[in-house]
Amino acid sequence: MSAHQYDHGHTVAGWTGFGIATVGAAALGVGVCTVSVAWLALGFAIGAVSLLVTWALHLAGWGKPSGRRPREEWPMRVRDSLAREGHSGCLGCRLAGRGRGRREVIPEVAAVSGGESIRLSPFE
């Protein structure tokens, strides 16, 4: 059990991507220190693989959307049940073609008529 009262989004997708990206960053570091194009290319390739693996795991339900979740969905081994439909505002889901059918309805704010405008700055 964690000591904090908030879900910080620790997921299988996030930690796996972080681990692979760390190896890629280490390969890039070796490439910079040894001035080796091969190590630099390897580091960039591993970085690209980390992005693809994280994205695939997110789409498979091992990543979670941002925002508040119920406490029973906090553990890392709990899969996200909404991954198939796509998360609203998620670039990865939009790139995969998910979540396009749903649109968030934003209510319009009615303008108040008959009131005087207030100057907010001396430039108005």
Question: Which pLDDT tens digits describe the chain residue by residue (124 residues)?
Answer: 556 666 666 888 889 999 999 999 999 999 999 999 999 999 999 999 999 999 898 888 888 776 677 777 777 777 777 777 777 777 777 788 876 554 555 555 555 566 666 666 666 5
Amino acid found at 101: G
Tell me how far CA of residue 31 lies from CA of 2, 22, 107, in angstroms.
39, 14, 53
Are 31 and 42 in contact, with CB atoms under 8 Å apart? yes
pTM (two decimals): 0.67
CA distance 29 to 41: 11
123: its two tokens: 């430039």
